Amino acid sequence: MAAKNAEQALVNQWRDILALHARTQCELDRALHGHGLCASDFEVLDLLAEGRAADGGCAYRVQEISERVHLSQSALSRLIARLEKDGLVDRAMCAEDRRGVRVALTPKGRALHGEVLPVQRAVLIRMLAG
């Protein structure tokens, strides 16, 4: 009986985590929508704004982004293409590996990131603090 209760508590904890994630994701999407972004868009911009790619540069390989952002490779490719179309990022071939692609923020992308950063952080504080 105790093992069954412990198992159910673990399942309940897992479901609570999923529910919190879903609520937070929805709140982020709602808050960022007015800026033309969704939560996933912001995550990519935020990562690029950190400017700490594996080689120390400010442009990330798509593979590096995919390791940090929880999207499929195809979804990430579409997202990056949309951000590029909107003038927020630039894509270029990797000089060291012509099969790879590097992504970097444009000045417009950096400005938008700075504008929406406080919005995103406020949602995280509201949803996750305490």
User: What pLDDT digit, counting tens, does each position of 13-70 carry?
Assistant: 999 999 999 999 999 999 999 999 999 999 999 999 987 655 555 688 888 899 899 8
Output DSSP code: residue 45.
H
pTM of structure: 0.85
Which is it for the CA torsion 23, 27, 33, 39, positive or negative?
negative
Residue 96, pLDDT score: 66
Q: Tell me: the pLDDT tens digits for 92-125?
A: 876 666 667 889 999 999 999 999 999 999 999 9
**How many angstroms separate the CA atoms of 130 and 113, rounded?**
26
Which residue spans within 1-130 are E strands per DSSP? 60-61, 89-93, 101-105
